[in-house]
Structure 1
Amino acid sequence: MAPREAVNMWIDRLQSTRADETLKSYRYRLKPFLEWCEKEGIDNLNDLTSRDVFQFDSHRRADGLQVSTLNNQIGTLKQFIQFCERIDAVPAGLPTKVEVPSVDLAERVNDELLSADRAATIRENLHRYERASRRQAMFELLWHTGCRLGGLRALDLGDCFFDESDLERLQHQDDIEGAALDAVEVPFVYFRNRPETPLKNKREGERPVAIDRDVADRVQEYIGVNRVHRPGSNDRQPLFTTEKGDNARVSKSSIRREIYILTQPCRWGRCPHDRDTTNCEALEHGKEARCPSSRSPHPLRTGSITHMRDQGWPPEVVAERVNATPEVIREHYDHPDPIRRMQSRREFLTEDSE
C-alpha cells in the first residue's frame, strides 16, 4: 500500500470519531512524512522499517523543530503506523519500535496560560462594566466549564438547564423517566454533537456540565437583555448569536477575537508594556492578538483546567468535565502553582491525622 493511500484510509476511518479540525491537524502532521517517503522512494509501506522511521526523525530534528512539535508529529505517525499494522500494511511489530520524543515538563508548560488571578480580574471587570453582555456570558462559560471554543459555539438555548422547569426538555431528549428527574440538579449546560456544530470528539464529547448559580445567572441576564433573537438553521436557537451575516450563530473567529479583546490589560487599566494606547496596533480591529498579554481561548481552557487541579479536583473528574483523558490532563494541561497545590493537599493530610 502506498503511504498516501494509507493516510487517506486512516483519516476516513476516523471521520466518525474525530472532528474535522482534528483530522486536518493529523494530515498536517503527516505531510512531512509523506513528502519524505516520496523523496526516499518509499512507495510501499510493507518496505518501511524502524531504521527508516529513525532516519525520518533525524531529518525532522535537522530542520530545527522544537521538541514539542516533534513529539506531536512522531506521536501522530506512530498512531498511523499502528493502524497500518492492523491492516497488514506495515511489517508486524513496527509500531513498538517507533520512539516518540519525550518532552520535559518545562517544555510542555504553556507560558500563555491564563492565570486564575487574571481570570478573576476579568470576571470582576465584566460584571462591573459589561454586565449581561455576550462577552461576559462567553467568558463565564469558557472559564467555568473549561470547554473548547467549538463546544461553546455549539450551545443552543435548549442546552441550558437553569431551573427545574427546564428538566422536562431533558426527559424528552434523553428518554429519562420522570422519577429520575428528581435526582437531577440544576443548573448545568449540555454539550451535544450535531452535524452543523460537531464537537472535537463527536459523540464521545457529549456531556452535561454542572455550573454555579452565579454563572447561570449571568448567562440568563445575557439571554434576557442582550441576546439577539435570530433563529439559526434547522430551526435551532443558538445561545450566542450575532446581528450580522447569514448565520445567526456567532462564528469561531468572532469568539476568538472577543477573548483576545477581553484579555488585553489596557481594556480595564493601564498598558503593562508601556505602549501608547492612542496608536497601539493591537487595538485595531483584527489585530488584537498582537498584544503580548492577550490570550486565545485555548490558554483560557488551560488556565481553567489548571485552576480546577489547584483546587484539588482529581484528574479523572476534571477529564470528564472538560472531555479529555486523565493522561492528557496531566501531560498537557496540568501546570500547577506549587503553593496552591500544596494547600489543596492539606485536606488529605488532615484526614490522615484523624
Structure 2
Amino acid sequence: MTRQITTERAVERYLNERRADISESTYYNHSSLLSQFIEWCESEGLDTVNELDGFHISDFKLYRRDEDNINSVTLYNQMTVLRVFLRWCESRDLVEGLAENILMPVPEDDSRNTMIDSETAAQILQFLQKYEYGTLKHVVFSLLWDTGFRIGSLRAVDLGDYNSEEQYIEVRHRPESETPLKNKYGAEREVNLHEWVCDVLDDYIRMHRHDVTDDHGREPLITTKQGRPVHSNIRGHINSVTRPCVYADQCPHDRSPDSCEAAQRRDTAQRCPDSIPPHAIRRSAITAWLNDGHTKELLSDRMNVSVKTLEKHYDARTESEKRELRREEFGME
C-alpha cells in the first residue's frame, strides 16, 4: 500500500536528502519554488502528495505563468525543479508517471536581453551617489558592478576579508558556517577593487554598517540589523535600484510610484519588468569589462568563470562591438 504523506512533509524530506549534494544557491532555489508549490496545493485542497495527477501539475504551471506573470525562462527553470522533486517522489513510490509527462515550457533565450550597459550603470551609480550615498543599496550595487560577484560570493565576505589600504577583497569558501561558494575552494581568490568602490565601501562601514555578528560569530562585510543578509534581501535591493522610476525618475509602464513600490515588496518574479536581477548585473559587468578590452583569460580568474562558460553565457557583446574593439587593438583608427 502506498504510504500517504503530505506535500509539505515530502518536500521537507526531499530537501533534507539533497542538501549535502547541492550548492547553497541550488538549495535555496529549490526550497523557494517548492514552498510556493506547497501553498498552491493547500489552496487547491490537496492534502497529500499522493493525490497529484497530471492535471494538477498542468494547473500549477498555468498558475505560475498567468497569475504570477513570470517569463518563459523562469517558468522553465521552476518546472525543472518541480520535475526533479516529482522524480524523487516516484523513487519513493509516492506518485507515478508524473515527471516525464510534464509538458515543459519552451524558454526564450533572454540571457542576452536582460542587461544594462555601462551608461545605464553610470546613471544608477550617479543616483546612488546623490541620494543613497554609503547605504547598503549603494555598496551592494557598486560591488556587484565592479566585481561581477555572484550573490553567494558577496554575502560570504567578512569585514576582515576587505583590505581598504591595498584595495581588494578576499573571497573564501566557508561551508561550515553557511557561506559556501558555488565553485567551492576553486572560487577562492583575491579581487582588486577600483578606488571609487573602496571610497563607497569605507564610508558604508563608517556610517551605515551594523556592528553585528552572524549566527557563527563572524562579522559580515555587508549587514542588516539581524546580521548577514539573506539572498532575497540582496535581490530586493538590486531590483529596487535598477527600476527606471528610481534612477531615471520615469516609468516606462506609466505606473504610479506607489504601485511600483507595492510590486517591489512582492515576490521577486513580480519585480518591475524593467528592473535587473542580480545575475544580469554579473553578465552586464563581464560584458562591460570585455568592451573595455580586457582579455577573457584575466576575466575568467577575476569573475570565477571558465573561458568556455564566459563565451557561451556572459559575453553579450554584439558583433559590431567586437569588430570595433578589434579595430582599436589593431590600431586601425
Same fold (TM over 0.5): yes
Q: 1:136 to 1:252 in 2, by over 3 A?
A: same
Q: Give yes or no for the alignment of 1:346 onto 2:327.
A: yes
How far 1:211 sits from its partner (Å)? 1.0
Residues 223-272 of structure 1: CA distance to partner in whole angstroms, max 9, x if unpaired? 011111112233311111111x4xx1111111110111001111131212
The 3-state SS of whatever aligns with 2:191 is strand
Q: 1:301 aligns with which of 272, 282, 288?
A: 282
Q: 1:36 to 1:312 in 2, by over 3 A?
A: farther
Q: Give yes or no for the alignment of 1:156 onto 2:154.
A: no
CA distance in 1, matches of 2:111, 2:142: 24
What is the total number of aligned residue pairs between the two structures? 258
Farther-moved stretch of structure 1 (323-332 vs 231-240): 231-240
Q: 1:114 to 1:129 in 2, by over 3 A?
A: same
Q: 1:20 aligns with which of 21, 24, 29?
A: 24
Q: 1:306 to 1:282 in 2, by over 3 A?
A: farther
Letter in 1 for 2:25: E
Q: 2:266 aligns with which of 286, 290, 311?
A: 286
The 3-state SS of whatever aligns with 2:330 is helix
CA distance in 1, matches of 2:90, 2:20: 24
Q: Please list, as runs of the form range in 1=range in 2, the aligned pairs for 1:184-199 lying within 5 A after superposition.
A: 186-194=166-174, 195-196=176-177, 197-199=179-181
8 Å Cα contact 1:257/1:286 also seen in 2: no
What is the RMSD computed on CA atoms of the aligned residues?
3.0
**Any gaps of 5 or more consecutive residues in structure 1?**
1-7, 41-55, 69-106, 164-185
CA distance in 2, matches of 1:134, 1:14: 32
Q: 2:192 aligns with which of 200, 210, 213?
A: 210
Q: 1:218 to 1:347 in 2, by over 3 A?
A: same
Letter in 2 for 1:290: R
Identity of aligned residues (%): 31
Q: Please list, as runs of the form range in 1=range in 2, the aligned pairs for 1:52-131 lying within 5 A after superposition.
A: 63-66=103-106, 107=109, 109-131=111-133
Q: 1:281 to 1:121 in 2, by over 3 A?
A: closer
**Any gaps of 5 or more consecutive residues in structure 2?**
1-13, 31-79
CA distance in 2, matches of 1:261, 1:108: 21
Q: 1:325 to 1:14 in 2, by over 3 A?
A: farther
8 Å Cα contact 1:305/1:318 also seen in 2: yes
Q: 1:264 aligns with which of 243, 263, 266?
A: 243
Q: 1:30 to 1:319 in 2, by over 3 A?
A: farther
Q: Please list, as runs of the form range in 1=range in 2, the aligned pairs for 1:180-259 lying within 5 A after superposition.
A: 186-194=166-174, 195-196=176-177, 197-243=179-225, 245=226, 248-259=227-238
How far 1:279 sits from its partner (Å)? 3.7
The 3-state SS of whatever aligns with 1:231 is coil
The 3-state SS of whatever aligns with 1:330 is helix
How far 1:25 sits from its partner (Å)? 7.2
Residues 166-207 of structure 1: CA distance to partner in whole angstroms, max 9, x if unpaired? xxxxxxxxxxxxxxxxxxxx2111111112211111111111
**TM-score for both structures, normalised by structure 1:** 0.64
2:77 corresponds to: none
The 3-state SS of whatever aligns with 1:341 is helix
Letter in 1 for 2:265: H
**TM-score for both structures, normalised by structure 2:** 0.68
CA distance in 2, matches of 1:13, 1:207: 25
Q: Give yes or no for the alignment of 1:318 onto 2:316.
A: no
The 3-state SS of whatever aligns with 2:119 is helix
CA distance in 2, matches of 1:206, 1:149: 15
8 Å Cα contact 1:160/1:190 also seen in 2: yes
How far 1:67 sits from its partner (Å)? 5.9
CA distance in 2, matches of 1:313, 1:124: 24
1:71 corresponds to: none
CA distance in 2, matches of 1:135, 1:13: 30
CA distance in 2, matches of 1:188, 1:280: 36
CA distance in 1, matches of 2:278, 2:208: 22
